[in-house]
Amino acid sequence: MPLTTVLFDLDDTLFDHAGTARAALEASTAPFAWAETVELNELYQRYSDILEEMHPRVLAGEFGYEEARRLRFQRLLAPYQAFADDAEADAFAAFHYGHYRRLRRPVAGAAPLLEALKPTYRIGIVTNNRTEEQVDKLAFLGLTHLVDALITSEAVGVTKPDPRIFRVALAQLGARPEETVLVGDNWTADVLGARAAGIRPVWLNRFGAECPEAGVTTITGFEPLAQVLPLIIGAGE
């Protein structure tokens, strides 16, 4: 069946969360003397690990977003920066978030790819995050007008890889699984989740991770467009 619909993950697929978060961490810790003695890559890896652990708990309602940000930095910086109290930790979290928003960036080639797809295919976003935050990201990236439906875990009540969130996306877009592909960076949430819903996945492997399974269409970025576009379209045909 011909391809009619292309779904995308948002964070670290269209929006460069990793690059933004690393740059924001560097900027927010720069004023502290201890930052000169800490390897940024190591600090960012710990930040990423803590975020990956806590994010599902935030989505499940165990923590509020402001509370989670504070706890994240209290854990991350405990070996280097002792906060006097929660208010001081909250202030640092807000300081970091200001840098994060200022340094936001798209994944290279994301906008041209969506612009190339839009005249022919329906485009949806399926993302594990808050609706307000993801709406803001799309607007910042200048992609809102290219997206036909934004499906968030907050709105649906389940997170990827649960196939129900993909079925909601299909219903909103009037699409069938067999005429749809999903492009995403997370093997479990995106590749396995899409497959469980009958959607063909395209794995975006920007960081050279080892592929867990042969036979899955894999791309390393969105450039050059002339090479990437046929791979995405071809995965659905």
Task: State how beta strands 5-8 and 122-127 pair.
Answer: parallel
pLDDT value for 11? 98
pLDDT in tens, 56-82: 999 888 999 899 999 999 999 999 987
pLDDT value for 236? 63
53 class by beta-carbon count within 10 Å (0-12 exposed, 13-18 middle, 19+ buried) = exposed
Residue extents of the structural domains in the chain: 5-16+105-235, 17-102
Q: Which residues pair with 122 in a beta bridge?
A: 5
Query: What separation, in Å, do the N-terminal and C-terminal C-alpha atoms of the chain show?
Result: 7
Task: For residue 99, give the amino acid letter.
Answer: H
E runs forming strands in 20-168: 122-127, 149-152
SS3 state of residue 161: coil
State how far the Cα of 171 lies from the Cα of 237, in Å rounded to an integer: 20
Task: For residue 2, give the amino acid letter.
Answer: P
**Protein fold of 17-102:** DNA polymerase; domain 1 (1.10.150)
CB 185 within 8 A of CB 124: no
Nearest Cα neighbor of 118 from 80, 144, 151, 86 is 144
State how far the Cα of 83 lies from the Cα of 91, in Å rounded to an integer: 10
CB 209 within 8 A of CB 224: no
User: Mean pLDDT of all residues in the chain?
Assistant: 95
For residue 195, the tally of other CB atoms under 10 A from its CB is 18
Domains 5-16+105-235 and 17-102 fall in the same CATH topology? no
pLDDT value for 84? 86
State how far the Cα of 179 lies from the Cα of 177, in Å rounded to an integer: 5
Residues of the chain under the 50 pLDDT cut:
none
Residue 61 phi, psi dihedral angles, 5° rounding: 90, 10
Domain formed by 5-16+105-235, architecture: 3-Layer(aba) Sandwich (3.40)
